[in-house]
Structure formats: structure tokens, C-alpha cells
Copies of this chain bind each other. A is one copy, B any other.
Amino acid sequence: MAGQPRSGCAINAAVEVIGDRWSLLVLRDIMFGNRLHFRVLQEQSEEGIASKHPRRSVAAPRRGGSAYAGGCRQGRRSTYSLTEAAIELVPVMAELGRWGAHHRPTTPTLRVRAELLADGGPAMWEDFMTELRAEHLGMHVPSRSGPTATERLASAYAALAADADH
């Protein structure tokens, strides 16, 4: 994790770690898009994300990946897992998405997951975080009936993405 924050303020402390735009968008892509490879993060980026690896404190290289120790080529092949700290950014992502959908021009396909997550509120955020912990940290997910939060987000996106293609 980065060094001592500039001040003892909790909001400042958060934005010092995640406040640069690219870091947050890379985390978004890992979180929602399941894009675990850095190469894919770059190539499929909606915003043309530059070649910038996420911070070690929020996304850790896995399966022997060596984004920080290795060279550039190795870096592009690395695979990321979200850390617990990154997973706990789900509520921040939900509130940012709610705000963006309300105050800025967006497209239905790229807005629908943010809206679904914002409207789902803390109960859905908890489900989504539990599922991300299973995917990224190998933790156990208690079985439950009905689609998971991950599935609900993915199918809402897929339905609109299919429409947009026709």
C-alpha cells in the first residue's frame, strides 16, 4: 500500500489510493467485466485505458503473474485478482455509477449495470462482494436460490448489448 497519506482525513485517504481515474476504471473492468488479463483490460477498454497497472493494494497479480516484478511483456500477460480492499469499493462504484447515470450523458448498455447495482442497494452490494470474494480470494459462497448478483448484472448487460448489435 502507498505511504502515509497527506492528511488524516478518511475521504482524502480513499482518493489518494483510488482517486486517479485510470485506477478506478481498471478496477471497474476487473470487477464487472471479469477482465483479469492486463492485455484484455487494455484492448477492450471503452475509454482507451493507457498501459497502467492497477496498484498492488487493490489488485494483486495472481497465478505467478509478476506485473510489478516483471518486464513489460510479462506485465501484459499478468492476471489480476481483486484484493479485499478493492472488493469493498463496490458501494463506492455503485454511488459513483448512480451519480454518473443521473448527471452525465451515458448509454443504456454501459449504464444498466450501474443502475441495477445502485437500485439494488446494500443487500445487493453485499451479495456481489461475497461473490467477488469467492472469485478473487477463493472464499466460500453459501449456496442460495435464484441468480447471483453477478449473473443479474451480466444478463442485464448482455440483453442490452445484444439489442445494440442488431
Interface of A is mostly: helix
How many Å from the CB of A66 to the closest CB on chain B?
Answer: 24
Give residues 1-21 of A contacting B (CB, 8 Å): 1, 4-17, 19-21
Contact of A14 among B16, B47, B85, B100 (CB under 8 A): B100
How many Å from the CB of A1 to the closest CB on chain B?
Answer: 8
For A16, A103, A108, which residue has the most chain B Cβ atoms within 10 angstroms?
A: A103
Q: How many residues of A contact B (CB 8 A)?
A: 50
Which chain B residue shows the least CB distance to A9?
B110
Beyond contacts A8-B107, A10-B99: 12 other A-B pairs, Cβ-Cβ < 8 A, are A8-B105, A10-B100, A11-B28, A11-B96, A13-B100, A13-B105, A14-B100, A14-B104, A15-B100, A16-B104, A17-B104, A91-B98
- Footprint of B on A, CB under 8 Å? 1, 4-17, 19-21, 24-25, 28, 46-48, 85, 88-89, 91-111, 114-115
